[in-house]
Amino acid sequence: MRFFSVLYKIINIALILSLVVIPVAFASTGKLKESGLSILAIALALSFNNLDKFSKFKGAGFEAELNTAVNKTYAAIEQVKKLALSISDPIASSLATADTPLLFVHLKYKIEQIENIRKILQELEIPQKHIDETLNVFIKRVHRDHMKRLLTYTNNALSEQDKFFSYVDDVDTEDWSLEKVRSLLNEKTIEPSGELKEVILDLEYWEKNHKLRRENKWQG
């Protein structure tokens, strides 16, 4: 009996470690769907390995009446949710950083990966507030890039004496909004046209949909 007790504990520890290591390995290679599925599969295996803690189990119908293990099960679910958030946070942060010459991922695919993470977290019934907080670093980065592009074309449309920066990287984009840019253009009686008009539409589209309006205009 002692042998089986030790074996049972070893299996439990292996499953718990797998619950951390395998999803992280998938996620680090961009396989977010596989990461989510592995979490669910290992969690199910962990549940069945602890099925002896159920006070009653009806074979064919798979109906189980739980005893005190119910509270532990719910606690484990909460831990899985926290684990999912902790894994998603560094992934979102890494996607928000600039690419290197040896590692380039088009912005379109980064956005798709972020949306896959969002769906997995929603399926785990994690509160939307926590999901938004976790993914916000990436969303803000793409919004900042849109705003920098808009400010560049706006600055180019102004007369020399009205230009408000020499280098766009010196501008704090959080001080600007689409409404503020429009107000400036109206004040200077500039009617947006050409690429200036297009980048305004790009930012409008991003703010509404969190998707790229013109994918061919973006890189990493």
Concatenating the DSSP letter of every residue in 183-206 gives HHHHHTT----HHHHHHHHHHHHH
pLDDT of 41: 55
Task: Determine, yes or no, domain membership for 139.
Answer: yes
- Find out whether 106 and 219 touch, Cβ atoms under 8 Å: yes
pLDDT of 109: 85
Bridge partners, 64 (sequence order): 57
Q: Which residue positions in the chain have pLDDT lower than 70?
A: 1-91, 93, 95, 97-104, 220
pLDDT of 29: 56
Phi and psi torsions of 171, nearest 5°: -90, 135
**According to DSSP H, which parts of 124-193 are helical?**
128-157, 178-187
Task: Determine, yes or no, domain membership for 41.
Answer: no
Task: Determine, yes or no, domain membership for 92.
Answer: no
Bridge partners, 54 (sequence order): 66
Packing angle, helices 128-157 and 107-123, rounded to 10: 160
pLDDT of 110: 86
pLDDT of 45: 53
The C-alpha atoms of residue 70 and residue 155 are separated, in whole angstroms, by: 62
Task: Determine, yes or no, domain membership for 178.
Answer: yes
Task: Determine, yes or no, domain membership for 194.
Answer: yes
The C-alpha atoms of residue 72 and residue 84 are separated, in whole angstroms, by: 18
Task: Determine, yes or no, domain membership for 36.
Answer: no
Supply the range of the domain harboring residue 193. 102-220
pLDDT of 7: 47
Task: Determine, yes or no, domain membership for 14.
Answer: no
The C-alpha atoms of residue 18 and residue 209 are separated, in whole angstroms, by: 36
The C-alpha atoms of residue 19 and residue 1 are separated, in whole angstroms, by: 27
- Find out whether 207 and 143 touch, Cβ atoms under 8 Å: yes
Task: Give residue 42's Cα distance to chain centre.
Answer: 22
pTM of the model: 0.62
pLDDT of 103: 55
pLDDT of 76: 57
Structurally, the chain folds into a number of domains equal to 1
- Find out whether 101 and 52 touch, Cβ atoms under 8 Å: no
The C-alpha atoms of residue 120 and residue 36 are separated, in whole angstroms, by: 6
Task: Determine, yes or no, domain membership for 189.
Answer: yes
